Amino acid sequence: MPELPEVECIVRSLRPRLEGLRLKHVELRSAIVASPDSAKAIARLSGGCVRSLGRRGKFLLLHMESGCCAIHLRMTGRLIWEGDTGPYTRAVFHFDSGRLVLDDPRQFARIEAGAALPESVLRLGPEPFDLSPEEFAARLRARRGRIKPLLLDQRFLAGLGNIYADEALHRARIHPLARAGRIARSRAASLHAAILSLLEEAIAAGGSSISDYVDGTGARGAFQQQHRVYGREGQPCPACGASIRRIVLGQRGTWFCPRCQRL
């Protein structure tokens, strides 16, 4: 599913195309892609111009003249500028020139709209780039749970999903089952640095195209070629050569190197 780098790449690919365009109307082809309230709010936003395109966590934000539209792609959602419509098309944003197509085979993607940012966006924790290493370490110290599920908790930190949580922990040499509150300050700082460098590299590579991710122009990312642990069970760790292991943690596959990341 698209995580912070992928959503950032979608935003960057769409920004020069969408900003300033007038939204004529939004065609909702699925009854569940937007709640009845959001569907009404989307209708109210129509007629206005796109002021800016942004991102918060894994949400893409369409800031309009009279409100905001937040789109979460979840597992298989795709937003394609001037895309073709088909059986998986859930919504089409029609602009005065061009259209944006939301396709989603599994129908988990959601559009929320209103005069202000939706509650699901307001509830998010800080962006990784907005935290200092000290603030990040202090947030870790205050938590009792294990580190991997904590990194996936969007109220703790916005934007990381399964891929980048596993990759960041490997870079920082921290076991996914380590107790967050017991991670030493220096290790916490290196985890924070690992998260930032990882996200920057992933954005620069156009994101990770696991399964079917593409950006807003249909371009695939290349960062999956640089994954060190994610999805690499049984393959050698690029740092030490040990065999990468997979465990299930909180119903999610979790990949790590048993030699680099000791408990």
Nearest approach, Cβ of 239 to Zn ion (angstroms)?
4
Nearest approach, Cβ of 152 to Zn ion (angstroms)?
22
Binders in 236-255 for Zn ion, by CB under 5 A:
237, 239-240, 242
Active-site annotation holds for 3: yes
Site track for Zn ion across 14-33, x = CB under 5 A: --------------------
Residue 131 vs 147, nearer CB to Zn ion: 147
Residue 240 vs 263, nearer CB to Zn ion: 240
Q: Is 92 in the site for Zn ion (CB under 5 A)?
A: no
Which residue number places its CB atom closest to Zn ion? Answer: 237
Size of the site for Zn ion (CB under 5 A): 7
Site track for Zn ion across 200-239, x = CB under 5 A: -------------------------------------x-x
Measure Cα distances from 113 to 208, 242, 252 in Å.
28, 48, 30
Nearest approach, Cβ of 217 to Zn ion (angstroms)?
36
Nearest approach, Cβ of 224 to Zn ion (angstroms)?
19
Q: Is 259 in the site for Zn ion (CB under 5 A)?
A: yes
Hey, what are 198's tokens?
Answer: 């990882």
Residue 10 vs 260, nearer CB to Zn ion: 260
The residues with which 53 forms a beta bridge, in sequence order, are 62
**Distance of alpha carbon 261 from alpha carbon 176, whole angstroms:** 8
Hey, what are 128's tokens?
Answer: 């990784």
Q: Is 260 in the site for Zn ion (CB under 5 A)?
A: yes
Sequence-distant (6+) residues with CB within 8 A of 67 are: 41, 44, 45, 113, 114, 115, 116
**Distance of alpha carbon 63 from alpha carbon 185, whole angstroms:** 38
Residue 186 vs 243, nearer CB to Zn ion: 243
Q: Dihedrals φ, ψ of 43, to 5°?
A: -65, -35
Active-site annotation holds for 2: yes
**Distance of alpha carbon 259 from alpha carbon 122, whole angstroms:** 39
Q: Dihedrals φ, ψ of 82, to 5°?
A: 55, 30
Residue 138 vs 242, nearer CB to Zn ion: 242
Q: Where are the alpha helices (DSSP H) in the chain?
A: 4-18, 36-45, 119-122, 133-141, 147-152, 162-171, 185-204
- Name the catalytic one among 55, 58, 148, 232: 58
Range 29-67 burial, b when 16+ CB lie within 10 A, else e:
eeeebbeeebbebbeebbeeebeebebbbbbbbbebeeb
* Residues marked as catalytic: 2-3, 58, 252
Contacting positions for Zn ion (CB under 5 A): 237, 239-240, 242, 257, 259-260
